Amino acid sequence: MARWGEVVWRAVDPDLDGDLLHRWLTAPRARFWMMQGWTREQVVAEYRRIAASATHEALLGTLADAADADPVLLVERYDPASDPVGGTYSVQPGDAGMHLFVAPPAGPPQPGYTSEAMHAALALLFADGAVQRVVVEPDVANLAVQRLNERWGFEVHRDVTLPGKTGRLSTCTRAAFERARADHGRTA
């Protein structure tokens, strides 16, 4: 498995990135994002809402050494206290919520591709010294992401009822992420 090099992050520009986000988030593989059947305008409106928010942000990641420089992942970072998930557990100082979408690789499937994306996303969030724990709530039916979460140090707490789904509330502490990095031979 080839490891990703540096990931360059930038804020989503809803108008500029609208076609890309619509293509990604309405595709069958994005069913857990619950945007199936959304129009481009609806997707753009959602990302305008996020861009205007003081508690949520959306970022696109691009591989720095990629020849085409197209984004390969989307990370939504948010304050759990301002999100429905915050009503399902006791939000702690230093908690950061995360949603992650990984674009399919160009060409054939690449073993470890989504694991590299998760590593990059967690490294981004934990680069902020105020973040002590990353909170996720994947759909209980999304077994692939639950395995990925376990690989990178997430602890499952319980299933929670959220708008449109039952989520599996899980958290990853800074210490658990660092242990997972060491287990996988990663220093950065």
- Taking only the tens place, the pLDDT of each residue in 49-73 is 999 999 999 999 998 876 567 899 9
Please check whether residue 188 lies inside any domain of the structure.
no
pTM > 0.85: yes or no: yes
How far is it, in rounded angstroms, from Cα 79 to Cα 135? 9
Q: How confident is the model at residue 4 (pLDDT cuts 50, 70, 90)?
A: confident
The fraction of the chain above a pLDDT of 70, given in percent, is 96
pLDDT at 65: 77
Q: How confident is the model at residue 1 (pLDDT cuts 50, 70, 90)?
A: very low
Please check whether residue 108 lies inside any domain of the structure.
yes
Helix (H) or strand (E) holding 11: strand 7-11
Please check whether residue 2 lies inside any domain of the structure.
no
Residues 53, 76 contacting (CB under 8 angstroms): no
Reply yes or no on whether the pLDDT at 137 is more than 60.
yes
The CATH number covering residue 116 comes to 3.40.630.30
pLDDT at 68: 64
Please check whether residue 23 lies inside any domain of the structure.
yes
How far is it, in rounded angstroms, from Cα 98 to Cα 100? 6
Number of domains in the chain: 1
Please check whether residue 170 lies inside any domain of the structure.
yes
Structural domain containing residue 105: 7-183
